[in-house]
Amino acid sequence: MLKKEVLQIIDNMPDDCSIEDIQYTLYVQYKIKKGIEDVKNGKFHTNEEMEKKFDKWLKQELTEQIL
């Protein structure tokens, strides 16, 4: 995120916003921008891949709970 973008985001926030509001807003904007870039670069998992990962994880959790 460029300084120009950061300043524009801050300028669009209310005058009475807190430093925490600014930090949170910048963090969310950064994560959204990074996520979009990741998708454009093919860095993502399909729903099917995630379902398989969750199934594997749940099976592991259940097995560990039984033992």
Query: Which pTM value belongs to this model?
Result: 0.68
Task: Indicate the domain borders of the chain.
Answer: 3-66
Q: Using CA atoms, how far apart are residues 66 and 12, in angstroms rounded to an integer?
A: 53
pLDDT, residue 29, reads 96
At 23-52, the pLDDT tens digits run 999 999 999 999 999 999 999 999 999 999
Q: What is the mean pLDDT of the chain?
A: 94
Query: Sorting pLDDT into bands at 50, 70 and 90, what band is 64?
Result: confident
Look at residue 67 and tell me whether its pLDDT is greater than 90.
Answer: no
